[in-house]
């Protein structure tokens, strides 16, 4: 239980609702900022404006997945008001107050370091990234079906990168009967790809290896599907680029060659917002439990 914990949830989308549900079930006291248009009420959670919140006893602040924008504004789907998360707000919090977001940026890093608070980026965590790869793969399958006129089964699928997303993508398309090859640059990744029963190739060979690709799925956040790689792809290839913006594809050249290339960010929040929220809620509640246990340990 999180009894006695004070948590501010500032802004966010449908994923945040799962987090609020879980934290109120665990008996935390929640201040909700940026939710005044939400019809639903949660027992133990109070809707407030940001200047009404008492931050002096706040144990944790939860920001939406993107954190803030570069001006400090927080995305608020359930409010028309502009909400800013500022250095002044953080200064009011006790030293042990931790901020949680999905990712960060220079603005958020700046106010965190000036105020010497802790920031936890949930999307940097292996557990969150691996759980999130599940809805990401389901969204990728959805896109592959929507944008091709052939089955995944029997098609030639090239996956670039064997990270948390790449591994799940490769395994699932293999299970669907595609002929999967995976490109990586580390020898341990080549070994793992071999062990998975799919075909490995070294990224230095990418131009040779993609010549017969029907669906190319990129997970590498670096310009890997360059103009010269695109020039070797069959024109019917569908590219699904999962890497974070701006992706790893030369989209301008893809369009010029007539190759359909889709940048597909944020699939978990699109195809399965409830699951995506539950993934964050489960990991967050564990982190908050650990934090509470630590504080109780230190107080004894
Ligand atoms: P990850 O575990 O860090 O994997 C990234 C992969 O890219 C690794 O295999 C890494 O190989 C490779 N890589 C990175 N830089 C490279 C370079 N310069 N040259 C060659 N290979 C390189 O990340 P992840 O969790 O799988 O996520 C992959 C991307 O998808 C990220 O950009 C993430 O933000 C994004 N993502 C998108 C969605 C969506 O809905 N579209 C969902 C989740 C994640 P090495 O180990 O050799 O560096």
State both tokens at 143: 């896109």
Return the pLDDT at 44: 87
207 CA to centre of ligand 1 in angstroms? 20
* pTM score, whole prediction: 0.90
143 CA to centre of ligand 1 in angstroms? 19
Same fold across 6-124+273-299 and 127-265: yes
Low-confidence ranges of the chain (pLDDT < 70): 299-300
Return the pLDDT at 294: 81
- Which of 186, 190, 207, 208 is closest to 199 using CA atoms? 190
Q: Is 266 in the pocket of ligand 1 (CB under 6 A)?
A: yes
Return the pLDDT at 296: 74
Cα–Cα–Cα angle for 104, 107, 113, rounded to 5 degrees: 85
Return the pLDDT at 300: 65
Question: What is the CATH number that goes with domain 127-265?
Answer: 3.40.50.720
Convert the pLDDT of each residue in 143-182 to its tens digit: 999 999 999 999 999 999 999 999 999 999 999 999 999 9
Q: Is 129 in the pocket of ligand 1 (CB under 6 A)?
A: yes
Q: Is 220 in the pocket of ligand 1 (CB under 6 A)?
A: yes
Return the pLDDT at 43: 87
286 CA to centre of ligand 1 in angstroms? 25
**CA separation (Å) from 236 to 23, 59, 157, 182?**
48, 53, 13, 19
Convert the pLDDT of each residue in 31-71 to its tens digit: 999 999 988 888 889 999 999 999 999 999 999 999 999 99
**CA separation (Å) from 53 to 7, 69, 72, 90, 218?**
10, 21, 17, 12, 43
For the chain, the structural domain boundaries read 6-124+273-299, 127-265
Q: Which CATH superfamily is domain 6-124+273-299 in?
A: NAD(P)-binding Rossmann-like Domain (3.40.50.720)
Residue among 160, 205, 221 to mutate when testing ligand 1 (max atoms within 8 A of CB) = 221
């Amino acid at each position: 239980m999180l009894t006695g914990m004070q948590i501010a949830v500032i802004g966010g989308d449908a994923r945040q609702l799962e987090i609020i549900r879980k934290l109120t079930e665990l008996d935390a006291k929640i201040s909700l900022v940026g939710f005044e248009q939400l019809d639903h009420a949660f027992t133990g959670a109070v809707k407030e404006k940001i200047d009404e919140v008492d931050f002096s006893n706040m144990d944790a602040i939860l920001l939406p997945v993107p954190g803030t924008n570069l001006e400090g504004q927080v995305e608020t789907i359930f409010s028309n008001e502009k909400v800013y998360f500022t250095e002044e707000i953080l200064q009011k919090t006790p030293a042990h107050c931790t901020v949680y977001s999905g990712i960060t940026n220079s603005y958020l890093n700046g106010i965190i370091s000036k105020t010497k608070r802790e920031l936890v980026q949930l999307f940097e965590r292996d557990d969150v990234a691996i759980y999130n790869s599940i809805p990401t793969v389901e969204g990728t399958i959805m896109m592959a079906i929507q944008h091709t006129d052939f089955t995944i089964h029997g098609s030639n699928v090239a996956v670039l990168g064997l990270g948390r997303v790449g591994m799940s993508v490769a395994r699932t398309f293999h299970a669907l009967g595609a002929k999967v090859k995976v490109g990586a640059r580390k020898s341990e990744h080549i070994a793992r790809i071999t062990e998975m029963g799919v075909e490995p190739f070294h990224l230095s060979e990418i131009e040779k290896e993609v010549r017969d690709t029907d669906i190319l799925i990129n997970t590498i956040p670096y310009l890997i599907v360059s103009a010269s790689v695109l020039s070797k792809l069959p024109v019917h290839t569908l590219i699904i680029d999962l890497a974070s913006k701006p992706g790893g594809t030369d989209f301008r050249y893809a369009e010029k060659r007539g190759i359909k290339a889709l940048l597909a960010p944020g699939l978990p929040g699109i195809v399965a917002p409830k699951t995506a929220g539950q993934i964050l809620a489960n990991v967050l509640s564990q982190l908050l439990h650990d934090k509470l246990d630590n504080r109780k340990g230190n107080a004894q």
